[in-house]
Structure 1
C-alpha cells in the first residue's frame, strides 16, 4: 500500500468512526437501547481506532537515535 492509499484508508476509517459515534449517541437516546448493539458499536469503534493508529504509524518514518 502506498502513502496515498494509506491516507485514503485512514480518512475512510475516520469517517466510519464518526458515523459510529453518531449511531452510538442516537442509540443512547432511545428509551430502551439495545445494549448488545451498543456494545458491538463500541467494539467496532475501538477496532477502527486501532487500525487507524497502525496505518498512521506506517506513515511516520522510524527514527533511530
Structure 2
C-alpha cells in the first residue's frame, strides 16, 4: 500500500493519490483545460512531470 508510511518510505506523510503532488497536478490540469484539442501534445511534459512526482512517492502509475 503506497499510502502506508510503514510500508512505503517514499511517502512518509501517507498521502493518497488524490492529494499527492499538488503542484504538478494543478499545472497539468490547467494545461488540459486551456489547450483544447491540442492538449495531448501541449501538455505532454506536464503529464510526465506529474507521473514522475507520483512515482517518486511510490505510486505505480
* TM-score for both structures, normalised by structure 2: 0.45
Greater relative CO, 1 or 2 (CA 8 Å, sep 6+): 1
From the two aligned structures, give the one with the greater helix fraction: 1
Please identify the structure whose Cα radius of gyration is greater. Answer: 1
* TM-score for both structures, normalised by structure 1: 0.43
